[in-house]
Structure 1
Amino acid sequence: MKPLETKLAVSHLVDEKVPLFLWGPPGIGKSSIVRQIAGEKGIGFIDLRLSLLDPTDLRGIPFFDQRARKAVWAPPAFLPDGSEPEGILFLDELNTAAPMVQASAYQLILDRRIGEYTLPEGWAIVAAGNRESDRGVVYRMPAPLANRFVHLEMESDPGQWRRWALSQGIDASIVGFLSARPDALFLFDAKSSHRSFATPRSWEYVDKVIQSTPEAELLMPLIAGAIGEELAAEFLSWRAAASELPDLDAILRGEDAVVPENPNALHVLASMIVRRIDRESPKEVLESLLAYLMKLPPEFSVMVVKELQHEGVLLEKCENFKVWIRKFAHLLA
């Protein structure tokens, strides 16, 4: 299931308080999606790693109540206490927890209570974990626990990641490179012994490395530490070839600007345009942009227009759009 569809499905199940387990390889954004849902709904969010707990930690610690003359259980402070009426209790990496800890979660997940503790009515439970084939330290989930969840499997999607990256201001060279090499968004081989590999999460790290403006001699080892040496070398070579770009401001002012011949540069330029233009861009800017797009190779021109339309930019109201349509209509079928 792709990220946007996964997010929509999780959101529905959170509303209905149906326990959900989200499966997927490392680094594709499982926890980020759940956190985003909580933020968009304006509800609480608690990230609980059961792998860090002992079986007794979840149930709480017993103490003697002198007034009642009996032993009672003090619930742990890390569980929702009702101060926030609604929220998501996120059990990340649940299947990395020891079997006894997983067993202690049975009652909490199904009955929404454990020992003396009861989960507040407005809170939903979402769990996540890597698959057994992902080279992680995981324990096979017992059938009684697995049957307490609705299971969804998430996968990465280069097109959806590109649109997200543009909205978040990810460096244009990264977006451009992954537009040219969509397979490089996620390169995880469970049989490989390499410690660094490309995932959506590690590409975010590459963006942070670039934004930190390290010394030239540090750029390669830092990026290699995020996505691996071979891919880092390819990305930096590609980035260097795409470094000579026309002045985007001049393009948007309607001034004459050269069209790059290097496909790498065209990918970066397309990413820069889509990140720069939005629904509030003046009509005269859009007219200038369309005039320039008609000079680009057809596949790049169509890609930019489709991306802008997906973002709600009303190019159709421009006079130059009619000319653009006549020129590239045969590619839109």
Structure 2
Amino acid sequence: MKPNEAKTAVAHLVEERVPLFLWGPPGIGKSSIVRQIAEEKGIGFVDLRLSLLDPTDLRGIPFFDQQAHKAVWAPPAFLPDGSVAEGILFLDELNTAAPMVQASAYQLILDRKIGEYELPEGWAIVAAGNRESDRGVVYRMPAPLANRFVHLRMQSDPAQWRRWATERGIDPAIVGFIAARPDALFMFDATSSHRSFATPRSWEYVDKILKSTPEAELLMPLIAGSIGEELAAEFLSWRAAAKDLPDVEALLEGETCGIPEDPNALHVLASMILQRIDADTPKERLEYLLAYLMELPPEFSVMIVKELQHKGVLLEKSPRFKTWIQKFAYLLT
């Protein structure tokens, strides 16, 4: 299931308070999409890393109630207390937790209560974890616990990731590189002994490394520490070849700009244009952009226009768009 599809499915199940388990390899954004759902709905969000908990941390600590003359359990402060009416209790890394912790979580998931604690009515339970084949330390989930969840399997998708990265302002060189090498977005090999490998999460680290403007001699080891040496060398070589680009702002002001010949540069240029243009861009600037796109190699021109339409940019209202359609109609059928 692609990230956008997984996000939509999770949102539906959260509405109905149906417990679900989101499976997927490391670094593809499982926890991120659950947090985004909570933020977009304006509801509470509690993230519990069960692999860091002891069984008593989840169940609470017993103490003697002198008035009732019995032992009761003091629920942990990190569980939702009802002060927020609706929310998501996110049990991350559930299948990496020790069996005794899973047993404690079992009662919370099955009965929505544990010890003296009861989960507020408006809260949904979402769990996530890596697959057993992902070289992580995982414990097989007991069948009764597994049967309590709806299970969704999530995978990375380069096209969706590029759109997200463009909206987030990820370095255009990264977005362009993934456009040219979609397989480089996720290169996890469970049989490899390498500690660093490419995932959507590690490419975000590369973006932060580039934005920190490190010294030239540090760039390679820092990026290699995020995505691995071989891919880091390929990315930096690709980035160097694509650095001579036209000024996008000048292009949108109607100034004459050259067309890069290097396909690598064209991928980066496409990413820069997509980051600069949105639904509020004035018509005059769109006219200048379409005039420039008329001169680009056809596959890049069509790719940029399709991505702009996906962002909600109404190119159809531009007089020049009809001319563009006539020129590239053979690629649109």
In the TM superposition, what is the alpha-carbon distance from 1:110 to its structure 2 partner? 1.3
Aligned-partner residue type, residue 7 of structure 1: K
User: 1:256 matched to which residue of 2?
Assistant: 256
In the TM superposition, what is the alpha-carbon distance from 1:56 to its structure 2 partner? 2.2
Aligned 1:252-291 pairs, distance under 5 A: 252-291=252-291
Distance 2:328 2:314 in 1: 17
Say if 2:75 is the partner of 1:70: no
In the TM superposition, what is the alpha-carbon distance from 1:247 to its structure 2 partner? 1.4
Distance 2:74 2:140 in 1: 30
Say if 2:38 is the partner of 1:26: no
Q: Give the aligned length.
A: 333
Distance 1:50 1:177 in 2: 36
Q: Secondary structure at the match of 1:193?
A: coil
Aligned-partner residue type, residue 202 of structure 1: S
The normalised TM-score by structure 1 is 0.99
Aligned-partner residue type, residue 179 of structure 1: A
Distance 1:56 1:257 in 2: 66
In the TM superposition, what is the alpha-carbon distance from 1:53 to its structure 2 partner? 1.6
Distance 2:51 2:142 in 1: 16
User: 1:184 matched to which residue of 2?
Assistant: 184
User: 1:14 matched to which residue of 2?
Assistant: 14
Aligned-partner residue type, residue 172 of structure 1: P
User: 2:162 matched to which residue of 1?
Assistant: 162
Aligned-partner residue type, residue 81 of structure 1: D
User: 2:128 matched to which residue of 1?
Assistant: 128
Structure 1 residue runs without a partner (length 5+): none
Say if 2:222 is the partner of 1:225: no
User: 1:110 matched to which residue of 2?
Assistant: 110
Percent identity at matched positions?
Answer: 83
Distance 2:55 2:250 in 1: 64
Distance 1:209 1:53 in 2: 32
User: 1:298 matched to which residue of 2?
Assistant: 298
In the TM superposition, what is the alpha-carbon distance from 1:327 to its structure 2 partner? 0.4
User: 1:202 matched to which residue of 2?
Assistant: 202
User: 1:214 matched to which residue of 2?
Assistant: 214
User: 1:57 matched to which residue of 2?
Assistant: 57
Q: Secondary structure at the match of 1:121?
A: coil
In the TM superposition, what is the alpha-carbon distance from 1:320 to its structure 2 partner? 1.0
Deviations 1:245-288 (A, max 9, x none): 01112211112111000000000000000110111111111110
Distance 1:56 1:186 in 2: 37
Q: Secondary structure at the match of 1:133?
A: coil
Aligned-partner residue type, residue 294 of structure 1: M
> What RMSD in Å do the two structures reach over aligned CA positions?
0.7
User: 1:244 matched to which residue of 2?
Assistant: 244
Q: Which moved more, 1:131-140 or 1:67-76?
A: 67-76
Aligned 1:146-157 pairs, distance under 5 A: 146-157=146-157
Distance 1:132 1:266 in 2: 40
Aligned-partner residue type, residue 147 of structure 1: N
Q: Secondary structure at the match of 2:6?
A: helix
User: 1:48 matched to which residue of 2?
Assistant: 48
Distance 1:299 1:61 in 2: 63
Aligned-partner residue type, residue 144 of structure 1: P
In the TM superposition, what is the alpha-carbon distance from 1:107 to its structure 2 partner? 1.3
Structure 2 residue runs without a partner (length 5+): none
Runs of 4+ aligned structure 1 residues displaced above 3 Å come to none
Aligned-partner residue type, residue 24 of structure 2: G
Distance 1:176 1:262 in 2: 12
User: 2:83 matched to which residue of 1?
Assistant: 83
Distance 2:240 2:35 in 1: 36
Q: Secondary structure at the match of 2:133?
A: helix
User: 1:172 matched to which residue of 2?
Assistant: 172
The normalised TM-score by structure 2 is 0.99
Distance 2:314 2:101 in 1: 54
In the TM superposition, what is the alpha-carbon distance from 1:100 to its structure 2 partner? 1.4
Distance 1:127 1:300 in 2: 40
User: 2:140 matched to which residue of 1?
Assistant: 140
Q: Secondary structure at the match of 1:132?
A: coil
In the TM superposition, what is the alpha-carbon distance from 1:150 to its structure 2 partner? 0.4
